[in-house]
Structure formats: structure tokens, C-alpha cells
Amino acid sequence: MDDLHVSAELLHRYDRPGPRYTSYPTAVEFHEGFSAADYSARLAQLSPAEPLSLYVHLPFCEHRCTFCGCNVVITPHREVAARYLDYLDKEISLLAGLVAGRFPVQQFHLGGGTPTYMTPGQLERVHAAVAARFDIMSQAEVAIEVDPRVTTRAHIETLRRLGFNRLSMGVQDFTPEVQQAIGRNQDEAGTRELFACCRELGFESINIDLIYGLPGQTATSFARTLEAVVSLRPDRVAVYSYAHVPWIKGHQKRLDVTRLPKGMAKLELIAQAIRTFRSSGYRQIGMDHFALPEDELSIAVGERRLHRNFMGYTVHRASTMLGLGITAIGDAAGAYAQNCRKLSTYYAALEAGVAPIEKGYALSDDDRLRRDVITTLMCNGFLRRSDVERQFGIDFGAYFARELQDLADGPAADGLLAMHDDSLEATPLGLLFIRNIAMVFDRYLREKTREQPTFSRTV
């Protein structure tokens, strides 16, 4: 795998803070000037002629993992979650009333937190609330995140009966010492048992989530985790870079930073994952995912039509995504809108009969153009200039003259990017640094100086 050789000089040049581009503009640009009324006006513009994506945030966990970067509520008190479902039902009803008509849903996702913190009956309640107001299409992707430590056979049986067809199973790392360092004890045997149960009950699409860059991880220990995952033969694997952002997630300060793999040691972990999964028949998807050849993500990236939204990589290129629950983000009619973070604020808004929006952002024409360019590069590692010109009515070379020069002087000169007359294409090495390549097109990174740290490092 000589195409993954990285010199110390190259690593030093590109290992710097940068966005993961879950959205563009990124969430740091969202502001409180975008209100619930603004979002409601956007929703009223939507037409049910086009299917949408729907995300429901179930934020509860019994215990906090110290590496976690998600928006969660830690409580052993189940009545707190029960009350949350009452208000979630209010929001689903409110949102359904703000859009003009009964919308078809082609992608429905329950995320967290730990969605299987909820009982099977509570998950059925959430599904019923959505199905009562929206039409979940027969061929829809219906997915959920599950934690093997708390997920039971009853959960899986209920989910299968409700029509869920995709599971994402959190593992992170099977090494006991690493698990101890991050406060997450998860035995491999229990995970294997749940995986087998999911297969037995008919789940044909299972994703396993791993994280590299955790305290105490070594090339040797991570290799054992990778081989264990390969032996399960999941349809997809996500290998996320640990994002150390203690200025945002204060609980991460409890981690021993001296044990975090950094620089070349961390880069070798993802390179090792790429080697392992490639040699085991998986195809690399974007910067950190892998899928079996017959998986729809593999087919899509081969045809250069992979897409990405707040729920991850997908083949469903819905122009509208609605987010429900605290901190959930909607993407509708050219604007992002994020729900309140606090339960109390979320509840108060719904009691008043208004969308529980805390902040948002209305995209400009330039934002839409750059979002398309960045998303296409992040998903497919490839961009055809003439496609952008045709869609947005611009001269790509003139509009992005500065960016093209920066790419030529940087990523292209360093062997990360091939620049042709009508296309840009990341090399295999360049996929390791695809965030850096996309960052060249980020106007906000170029124009804004931030006094406080904002993003995790790209390696």
C-alpha cells in the first residue's frame, strides 16, 4: 500500500484544525438571528411532491463515555425520557402542521444519545407518531443507532417488525485497556451475540462504528479490533477520527491527553484500517467509511453519485431534511435550523406552540455553490467542473481562480490531488486529507479569524 505513505513534512503541513463538513456553512456560522418564524416560513414553501429525510434525536444515555462528542442527556431516571417523548410528539405534530401536506419520507433515522435507551414500547411510540403524520415510503431507508451494551433481542424484534432495515452498532474499540480509558466497557462476546441476533431476525444492512485516536490505542491493539470486525463481516464500517475538543465538550478533559495517539501514530491507525478493509474486499467510502462491493454506498461512489447529509453518507439526495428533538438540525428551503439544546427551553417553546428553534442560517447563492463543491469532493473525491458550471451558471475557472491556484500550489503539488481540464480528483493519499482539500473552497475559513479554537484536527 505504497499509495498511503506520508512523510513527516507532509503530515506537518496538513495536520491542522478543520471542519468535517457535515454541513456548509458549518454550524459555527449558525446564529440566533434566524428564528422560529424564519424556519416556519421556509417550511411553508415546501412541496410534498419531493420526498424528504427525517431525523429524530433521542439524546439519553445512562452513562457518559469520555470521548463522546454527541449532544446527550445523561440520566438513570427513565421518567425524564418518558416526558421527553410527550414533547417530541408535540413537535412532530407541530412540524407536520407547518408543512403544506402529508410528506413522503425516503430516509428516517433515529439517532442519539442511545436510542435503545428507550424501551421497545417507547421506540414503537416514536415510530407511530411519525407514521401518523408522514408517509414512510415502502423502499425508505429506516435506520437506528444501537448500543450493544443496552440493546436486547426484544428491541431488535420490535425494530424489525416496525420496518427498520438498517442498524448502526457502536463498538469504538474492543481493547479492554482502551475501553477503560474512555469509560466504555463493552465485551466482544456480547457484541457478537447481538450482531448474530440482528442477522437472524433479517437485518441485511448492519454498520459498525469504530474510532481511531483514542487513549492507549496502538497499531497492534487496533489491528486486533479491525480483524475482529472483519470476521463479523458487517455491510459497512465507519472509522471515525476521535475529535478532541475539550473547549466544547468539557468531559473530554478527563481523558489522559498524554495517551492520545497524535501525528504519525494516529495517521497510521487509519492507514491500517484502510489496508485491512481494502484487503478484506471493502471499498473505501469518503474519508472514513467502508462498504462491501454490493452495498448501495459502494455502487454510488463507483458511479460518483454519493451524497451526504447530517445523518451521514447516503444515496438519497433529498433536498429537505427535517430534524426533531433537542439539538436536531433541519435543512429546508435554503436554510439550516437547529433546535434548542436545553430540555427546559425545548419544552417551553412547544408549550407556546412554536418551533423550538435556537439558531439557524439562511444560505446565500455563494453558500449553495460552495456547499455543492465541498459536498461532492467530500463524498466522491471527485468534481467535474462542467457539472458545476451547468448547475450554477458560472465560469468555474474564473469564479474559483484563487482556490484553483491554492490547490495547484498545495494539494496537487503534494500528490494529493489530480487537476485536469474539467475535473479535480483526490488521489488515494489525498482521501486521507480530503478535509484539507475541501477547506480550500471554504470562504469562512479564509475570511474569518477566530480567537478561540473551533474545529478538531484533520488528522
Give residue-wise pLDDT tens across range 101-124. Answer: 899 999 999 999 999 999 999 999
**What are 188's three cell numbers?**
466482544
Rounded to 5°, the CA angle 272-306-238 comes to 30
Distance CA 155, CA 150 (A): 9
Domain ranges within the chain, ordered by starting residue: 1-25+365-459, 27-314
- In this structure, which long-range contacts are made by residues 29-35, counting pairs with CB atoms below 8 Å and at least 24 apart in sequence? 29/361, 29/444, 30/336, 30/338, 30/359, 30/360, 30/361, 31/359, 31/360, 31/361, 32/358, 32/359, 34/335, 34/336, 34/337, 34/357, 34/359, 34/360, 34/361, 34/362, 35/357, 35/360
- Residue 123's pLDDT is 98
- Residue 438's pLDDT is 97
- Taking 90 as the threshold, does the pLDDT of residue 257 lie above it? no
Q: Amino acid identity, residue 88?
A: L
- Taking 80 as the threshold, does the pLDDT of residue 452 lie above it? no
Rounded to 5°, the CA angle 33-35-36 comes to 175
Which position has the higher pLDDT, 220 or 286?
A: 220
- Taking 60 as the threshold, does the pLDDT of residue 2 lie above it? no
**What are 105's three cell numbers?**
419520507
Determine what percent of the chain is predicted with pLDDT higher than 70.
98
Q: How many CB atoms lie within 10 A of CB 412?
A: 18
Which DSSP symbol is given to 112? S
Distance CA 59, CA 86 (A): 14
Mean pLDDT of 142-161: 97
Q: Is the peptide bond before 48 cis (omega within 30 degrees of 0)?
A: no
- Taking 60 as the threshold, does the pLDDT of residue 442 lie above it? yes
How would residue 405 be classed by pLDDT, with cut points 50, 70 and 90?
A: very high
Mean pLDDT of 65-73: 85
- Lowest average pLDDT, out of 81-95, 228-242, 307-321, 427-441, goes to 307-321
Distance CA 357, CA 40 (A): 10
- Residue 286's pLDDT is 85
**Integer distance in angstroms from the first to the last C-alpha of the chain?**
19
Pick from 315, 317, 286: nearest CA to 299? 315
Q: Which CATH architecture has domain 27-314?
A: Alpha-Beta Horseshoe (3.80)
Contact criterion met (CB below 8 Å) for 11 and 429: no
Contact criterion met (CB below 8 Å) for 428 and 3: yes
Domain 1-25+365-459: which topology? Answer: Arc Repressor Mutant, subunit A (1.10.10)
Average of per-residue pLDDT values in the chain? 93
**What are 228's three cell numbers?**
475482529
How would residue 69 be classed by pLDDT, with cut points 50, 70 and 90?
A: confident
What is the H or E stretch that residue 370 is in? helix 365-380
Query: Reduced to 3 states, what is the DSSP secondary structure of residue 312?
Result: strand
Contact criterion met (CB below 8 Å) for 325 and 58: yes
Counting Cα atoms < 13 Å in the Cβ hemisphere of 21 gives 33
Question: Model confidence over 72-83: pLDDT tens digits?
Answer: 999 999 999 999
- Taking 50 as the threshold, does the pLDDT of residue 338 lie above it? yes
How would residue 1 be classed by pLDDT, with cut points 50, 70 and 90?
A: very low
283-285 vs 289-291, strand pairing mode: antiparallel
Question: Model confidence over 43-62: pLDDT tens digits?
Answer: 999 988 889 999 999 999 98
Query: Phi and psi for 286 in degrees, rounded to 5?
Result: 60, -145
Pick from 210, 208, 203: nearest CA to 179? 210
Mean pLDDT of 122-145: 97
- Taking 80 as the threshold, does the pLDDT of residue 126 lie above it? yes
